[in-house]
Structure 1
Amino acid sequence: MRVKHVINLHKGTTAIYVAALMVAYQNFGLGPWVYLALHSTYGLLWLLKDRLYPDKQWEQPIALGAAVFTFGFIGLYWVAPFLLISRGVEPPLPLVAGAIALNILGVFLHYASDAQKYFTLKYQPGLITEGFFARCRNTNYLGEILIYLSFALLAMHWLPFAIVGLVAALVFVPNMRKKDESLSRYPEFADYRARSGLLLPRLFGGVGAGAQVSSTAQPQLED
């Protein structure tokens, strides 16, 4: 068993879980349907990404106990649809529109930046400093956070927001720091770091233009 099998199981069964909640609570309002469409599509895209341009870090083997814990941890994301559907709340249309817009932006940043990273490193390994990573060193994490914030908006409860913050603090931030430490061995990384943000794009300031890929660098750390 590999880490990706646990994650893929969660992503792939989200649609079934949300649909089951709708049936169990007989809640077929606008909010649940929008949530089902957004989160199910996100899970489907994740499975397609794993087939087309997989992330190497999810290829690591995992023990059964750790797999159960991992599934339970990422299962915290299922709190949002449970709160939305079980409470029978109806999100107002402006909030639904905002959640959809935020979700689309997050999906674009997450999957497109992962594609850039995968195919760039596949054919020309090195330090990526252009495109989605020109002003933000972790555009994929930013996109993923926006996606789950859109789900939290639909739930209209503080707990899903707290869960997104918890996952970001315990998983995303340590991974981003670890990536920075790995990339710091490249001489051009200091210039790149000065003109890019760790998570949020640095739109102003910084020095130098940098190069898309260092010709002598080793592959960028997968995140």
Structure 2
Amino acid sequence: MKIKHVINLHKGTTAFFVVALMVAYQNFGVGPWVYLALHGTYGLVWLLKDRLYPDKQWEQTLPAATGLLTFGMIGLYWVAPFLLISRGVEPPLPLVAGAIALNILGIFLHYASDAQKYFTLKYQPGLITEGFFARCRNTNYLGEILIYFSFALLAMHWLPFAIMGLFAAVVFVPNMRKKDQSLSRYPEFADYRLRSGLLLPRLFKTYRAGSQPTAGETPN
């Protein structure tokens, strides 16, 4: 099987898992419904993205045992809805509003930046230094972190945040470092790295020692 088959199975079954939790615990409050809408839609959009502009890194094949282990690890993201629904807690409306806002922003950054990367590299391979990647080298990961942060907020428990930290340490950061190593083959990467952040956008340009802004450019 391919990595994407494992990921797609998890994304595609999340909405059914959340509904099953709601039925099992007879919890049909605002929190569970909002969570279902956000995480369920996220899974649907992921499947659409895989059809429209798939990510090559998920095309690698896995042994069946490794695939099951991977699904189990990704399944840790289901801890958030379980805690929210099984505990019967009702998130306050300001927190719900904040989670929705973060989720929308994360969806925009994640899927739009992935689209830019896919179609740019399809027609013009090379280093992407504009648009979503002008000030941040991993806008897609930033968006994904915001998405799962919104889910963790709704759960109102420390464990989903700890799981996010685990994924950041084991998956996100190593992948971002690996990407930087790959991009370093481009001569212009050194300058691009100075004016962009690894995860958070770099709002102020940085110049190498002894370098000066180009004509008509002022540091900001």
Under TM normalisation by the shorter chain, which class is it?
over 0.9
SS at match of 2:100: helix
Tell me the C-alpha RMSD between the 2 structures: 0.9
Offset of 1:205 from its aligned partner? 2.2
What is the one-letter code of the residue matched to 1:108? F
What is the one-letter code of the residue matched to 2:35? Y
Which residue number in structure 2 is paired with residue 204 of structure 1? 204
Q: How many angstroms apart in 2 are the aligned matches of 1:61 and 1:181?
A: 23
Which residue number in structure 2 is paired with residue 31 of structure 1? 31
Q: Flag the structure with more relative contact order, 1 or 2, with Cα contacts below 8 A and sequence separation at least 6.
A: 1
TM-score of the aligned structures, taking structure 2 as reference length: 0.94
Which residue number in structure 2 is paired with residue 183 of structure 1? 183
* Structure 1 residues 85-96: aligned runs within 5 Å: 85-96=85-96
Q: How many angstroms apart in 2 are the aligned matches of 1:76 and 1:190?
A: 37
Stretches of structure 2 that go unaligned for 5 or more consecutive residues are: 208-212, 215-220
Q: How many angstroms apart in 1 are the aligned matches of 2:142 and 2:170?
A: 15
Q: Deviations over 1:187-219 (max 9, x none)?
A: 10000000000000000122468xxxxxxxxxx
Which residue number in structure 2 is paired with residue 107 of structure 1? 107
Q: How many angstroms apart in 2 are the aligned matches of 1:101 and 1:39?
A: 13
Q: Which runs of 4+ in 1 moved over 3 A?
A: none
Which residue number in structure 2 is paired with residue 142 of structure 1? 142
Q: How many angstroms apart in 2 are the aligned matches of 1:190 and 1:151?
A: 36
Q: Deviations over 1:160-180 (max 9, x none)?
A: 001011101100000000000
Q: Deviations over 1:122-180 (max 9, x none)?
A: 00000000000000000000000000000000000000001011101100000000000
Which residue number in structure 1 is paired with residue 131 of structure 2? 131
Q: How many angstroms apart in 2 are the aligned matches of 1:169 and 1:199?
A: 13
Stretches of structure 1 that go unaligned for 5 or more consecutive residues are: 210-223
Report percent identity of matched pairs: 86
Which residue number in structure 1 is paired with residue 171 of structure 2? 171
- Looking at CA atoms only, which structure, 1 or 2, has the larger radius of gyration? 2
Q: How many angstroms apart in 2 are the aligned matches of 1:76 and 1:132?
A: 29
Q: How many residues align?
A: 209
